[in-house]
Structure 1
């Protein structure tokens, strides 16, 4: 979430978006934000730059619920596979992670939206240290 706001401010469009929010249809605003915050073109490169400038052991991603629906967590995770591959990534997700042999892994946003995307992920609640 914070990175999204930072990117909009860096591109000098944050104030314009705030101004248009009440004047345009939600779908149009969603399309605009999806374009200017595209995970492949904008978010993943910004995260990669931050990671390159920082010594870290674990990448933590938060604010997923705050950027829905214009940024989808599966798009971010898919685009980070080549960027954040050497160290673990933990995403704080407002919903449930499910996994079965038949259907694979899924993130169910807010316990309502079933996302049948494939994730190379696991629930950290089931890990022991």
Structure 2
């Protein structure tokens, strides 16, 4: 019986059904506008995720940008089931202002401390990683 429960839990985790950021859930989030172009914000968010997780084989960083829509996203995922644990979404307001939304899963280290580090990295234009290390 115990082996069955473990198998079911592992299968659900691998299918991405447990944990991580899910559409419509109540994951911690913060949104704000920054006086920078969307390209600059995108590169800063990507750099912060790469720099703070460099050498950590437990997470992968996926970044994409859409120049036509002037949007982008940077997602941090666990290789185990591809659970998304952090995400930054950006959208140009105009050529010099960008709307930024950070979302994290919730359990440490993907909690309000991570949100703060992600926001500080964009606002201060330098990677803030203390929460991850």
Using the size of structure 2 for normalisation, the TM-score is: 0.26
Of Structure 1 and Structure 2, the greater strand share is in 2
Of Structure 1 and Structure 2, the greater helix share is in 1
- Determine which structure has greater relative contact order: mean sequence separation of CA pairs < 8 Å that are 6+ residues apart, divided by chain length: 2
Using the size of structure 1 for normalisation, the TM-score is: 0.26
